[in-house]
Amino acid sequence: MDRLKLSLRRALLIAPFLLFAGSAFGRDDGRYADSPLKPWFDSLRSHLGPCCSDADGFAVSDPDWESHDGHYRVRLDGQWVDVPDEAVITEPNRAGRTMVWPVKTAFGISIRCFMPGSMI
């Protein structure tokens, strides 16, 4: 009986990590296969890991993101989400538009990658 309890306890501790990891995998449905920016998008990484590709990220309109004291936040699904400093891509933005790669889990929305635009 103690082994069963221990196994159940381990499963409950590991389950949230599996849920998070499973939702972080990217997908490439081929929409941007002919884009000259595809190799660049595929190579994008933040300190939190690979951003996947353009198909996984999406453009954010200027009213839906902001910068304050060197930190960013973005509005997703009607709520403001702070962008971790580790998620900010610091290389030049070849796409020209603000983009975000959110990861949605049972615990809420986190940001895997964020690439600020011009905010003009």
Domain coordinates in residue numbering, the chain: 38-115
pLDDT digits (tens, 9 = 90+) for 1-28: 555 444 445 544 454 444 444 444 445 5
Q: How many CB atoms within 10 Å of residue 116?
A: 20
Q: How far is CA 26 from CA 42, 108, 113, in A?
A: 10, 18, 12
Domain 38-115, what fold?
A: OB fold (Dihydrolipoamide Acetyltransferase, E2P) (2.40.50)
Q: What are phi and psi of 52, to 5 degrees?
A: 90, -100
pLDDT at 59: 92
Q: What is the pTM of this model?
A: 0.69
Taking Cα atoms as reference points, which of 34, 82, 74 lies closest to residue 57?
Answer: 74
